[in-house]
Amino acid sequence: MLTLGNIEFKSRLILGTGKFSDTETMVKAIEASGTELVTVALRRFNRDKPDDDLCAPLARLKGITLMPNTSGAMNAKEAIRAAQLGRELSGSSFVKVEIHPNPHHLMPDAIETYLAAKELAADGFIVLPYIPADPVLAKKLEDVGCAAVMPLGAAIGSGGGLSTAEMIKLIIRDSNIPVIVDAGLRAPSEAARAMEMGCDACLVNSAIAAARDPSAMAKAFALGVETGFAARQAGLMPKSEIAVASSPLTSFLGK
């Protein structure tokens, strides 16, 4: 079980809801993934497109908890405000703190993220911050009461994979809270690798939404996460610098 705050989840795959071609495709992908936690963003109501809001289709899904993000916030103050509005709408205390002021690379602002996470955790939110893969920052976020840390694998939407693997390993080594890879994953094999390394969950959006068949890719990611976690539980064999024969190197035939 993945425990975030005081809530337990069977699935270790968290889905983002952005970039899907239409709502129905998104709903089917969520169902196919088996996820129990999905992220949503807060934006201004569009009078010209009143049906754009995701509340109705998401409310139809059973067993799904919403985690509003704070995207669009440029600093801690704006993120805190977004989190409060998100809680008001979702009825959920989960918040993905996401502050990335530069639209070119969308790298998280570590300082503002820390300030927002600290205040929101103190205010009773279940805080999951999206962060650079920085083990020092991750530990500080644990100390102020975050429910998990979510280091990036690569830039948001880039499909760059698990480019920060070595840093994420350092985060996992010292962390007493779940470590969730968020952003950058492109292939289910990368999700499996993250789980084998010791991650507790993966958050995936673009790789599923931009796949030719999003539902099939959602299922593939679910299997990748499950496989990687099962492999870690099973215990990977130690690595060796040289060959280690599977059979004795004595008593050959004809000798």
CB of 44 to other proteins, least distance (A): 4
65 sits near other proteins (criterion: CB under 8 A):
no
41 sits near other proteins (criterion: CB under 8 A):
yes
Which residues are 8's β-sheet partners? 3
CB of 51 to other proteins, least distance (A): 10
Q: Is the dihedral of CA 203, 206, 209, 212 positive or negative?
A: negative
CA distance 79 to 69: 9
The catalytically annotated residue of 10, 19, 96, 255 is 96
Interface region with other proteins, contact rule CB under 8 A, candidates 82-90, 138-146, 164-172, 213-221:
82-90
134 Cβ contact list (under 8 Å, min separation 6): 110, 151, 167, 171
Among 19, 74, 174, 230, which residue interacts with other proteins (rule: CB under 8 A)?
A: 19
User: Are the beta carbons of 203 and 183 closer than 8 angstroms?
Assistant: yes
47 sits near other proteins (criterion: CB under 8 A):
yes
> Is 96 annotated in the active site?
yes
Among 3, 8, 10, 52, which residue interacts with other proteins (rule: CB under 8 A)?
A: 52
CA distance 140 to 218: 33
User: Are the beta carbons of 195 and 202 closer than 8 angstroms?
Assistant: yes
Task: With residue 123 as reference, give the H or E element that holds it.
Answer: none
Nearer to other proteins by Cβ, of 96 and 135: the residue is 96
105 sits near other proteins (criterion: CB under 8 A):
no
39 sits near other proteins (criterion: CB under 8 A):
yes
The tokens for 176 are: 């007493």
Reference 84, options 123, 55, 131, 115; nearest CA is 123
35 sits near other proteins (criterion: CB under 8 A):
no
Give the active site residues: 96
- Residue numbers of the site for other proteins (CB under 8 A)? 16-20, 26, 39-45, 47, 50, 52-56, 58, 66, 68-69, 71, 81, 84-86, 88-90, 156-157, 183, 203, 205-206
